[in-house]
């Protein structure tokens, strides 16, 4: 539902929102939009696309960036609703939110299949993966950060064992790991909420250590378990969790200590879902004509210009929403 709020002043919190979190979320959505546009263009270097299986590119980190952004606010939002509305209504709110996200993702996936961009009739997109992860993580929010970290690691361990024993063909045949992969995405979200609570619950000094520990653990585990977004492997989750935390620490430092506050990131971060849905409508301008030189076989220069136009139009939309003080959320 749309909500109207007063305009945010530099560095202040609004409605319990953190400027650094909004800017981090905004950057994650912008990167998602650019990556989705470049994914099917042949001239784009492989390093700017998802790794085909084992391996890691910068693009493989974008979805985890957004999941980490959700983790930064999921715990405080849950506790606020629990205190204000009680357990049943709080659960009802989040269950409806995550189911709605799965439904929106299913509609987008169906549209991709209709225009020949999806993986097939059972295409499983990033919104479905996030929605399912949110549902799995919900009952674990009642645990303290330490126990939640153990629960997140247990989810990752159980998923990796099942992946190696039974699930690998199914996971590789599905987008974002399909239904089985949701267990691993949920593990990442649970860990992200636990790491975030180090900030929210007065243990700020442990926050950088937790992120660096996750990154180091993922790198060490990579010698045993291949890093792969397609497999949503445990090593991939830990590496991307740590990298997401390090990126957020950089943005938080820039905003709160260095005074670097690019406003457009907050505009995007205020309405991430709306802008994400909107970018699919704009992508149709490039995809639907079916002209090879205009999309699939576009030159690198043309692809970059199209991406800049896409981001520019959506930034204008984000600015207009921010100017009116509107936030649209589930």
Domain layout of the chain by residue ranges: 2-328
Q: 213, 197, 75, 214: which is closest to 140 by C-alpha?
A: 75
pLDDT computed for residue 118 by the predictor: 54
pLDDT computed for residue 156 by the predictor: 98
pLDDT computed for residue 121 by the predictor: 40
pLDDT computed for residue 17 by the predictor: 65
Residue pointed to by tokens 């800049």: 308
26 Cβ neighbours under 8 A, 6+ residues apart: 264, 265, 266, 267, 268, 269, 270, 272, 318
pLDDT computed for residue 43 by the predictor: 95
Do residues 19 and 13 lie in contact, with contact meaning Cβ atoms separated by under 8 Å? Answer: yes
Q: What is the mean pLDDT of each run of 10 residues along the chain (330 residues)?
A: 40 60 96 94 94 94 96 96 97 97 91 63 81 98 96 98 96 92 98 96 92 98 97 98 98 94 95 94 90 95 96 97 90
pLDDT computed for residue 111 by the predictor: 78
Q: What is the pTM of this model?
A: 0.92
Give 161's Cβ-side CA count (13 Å radius). Answer: 6
């Amino acid at each position: 539902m749309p909500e109207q709020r007063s305009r945010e002043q530099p560095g202040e919190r609004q409605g319990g929102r953190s400027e650094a979190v909004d800017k981090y979320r905004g950057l994650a959505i912008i990167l998602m939009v650019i990556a989705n546009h470049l994914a099917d263009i042949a001239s784009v270097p492989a390093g700017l696309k998802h790794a085909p299986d084992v391996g890691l590119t910068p693009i493989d980190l974008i979805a985890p960036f957004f999941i980490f952004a959700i983790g930064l606010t999921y715990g405080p939002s849950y506790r606020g609703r629990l205190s204000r509305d009680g357990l049943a209504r709080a659960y009802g709110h989040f269950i409806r939110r995550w189911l709605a996200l799965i439904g929106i993702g299913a509609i987008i996936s169906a549209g991709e299949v209709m225009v020949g961009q999806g993986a097939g009739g059972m295409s499983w997109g990033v919104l479905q993966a996030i929605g399912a992860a949110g549902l799995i993580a919900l009952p674990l929010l009642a645990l303290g950060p330490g126990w939640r970290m153990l629960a997140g690691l247990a989810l990752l361990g159980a998923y990796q064992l099942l992946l190696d024993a039974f699930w690998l063909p199914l996971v590789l045949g599905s987008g974002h790991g399909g239904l089985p992969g949701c267990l691993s995405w949920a593990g990442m979200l649970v860990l992200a909420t636990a790491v975030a609570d180090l900030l929210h619950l007065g243990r700020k000094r442990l926050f950088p250590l937790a992120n660096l520990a996750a990154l180091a653990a993922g790198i060490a585990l990579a010698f045993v378990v291949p890093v792969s977004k397609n497999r949503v492997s445990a090593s991939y989750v830990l590496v991307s969790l740590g990298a997401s935390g390090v990126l957020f620490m950089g943005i938080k430092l820039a905003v709160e200590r260095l005074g670097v506050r690019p406003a457009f990131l907050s505009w995007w971060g205020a309405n991430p879902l709306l802008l994400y849905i909107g970018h699919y409508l704009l992508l149709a301008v490039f995809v639907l004509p079916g002209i090879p030189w205009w999309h699939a076989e576009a030159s690198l220069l043309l692809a970059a210009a199209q991406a800049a136009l896409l981001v520019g139009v959506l930034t204008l939309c984000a600015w207009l929403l921010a100017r009116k003080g509107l936030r649209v959320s589930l």
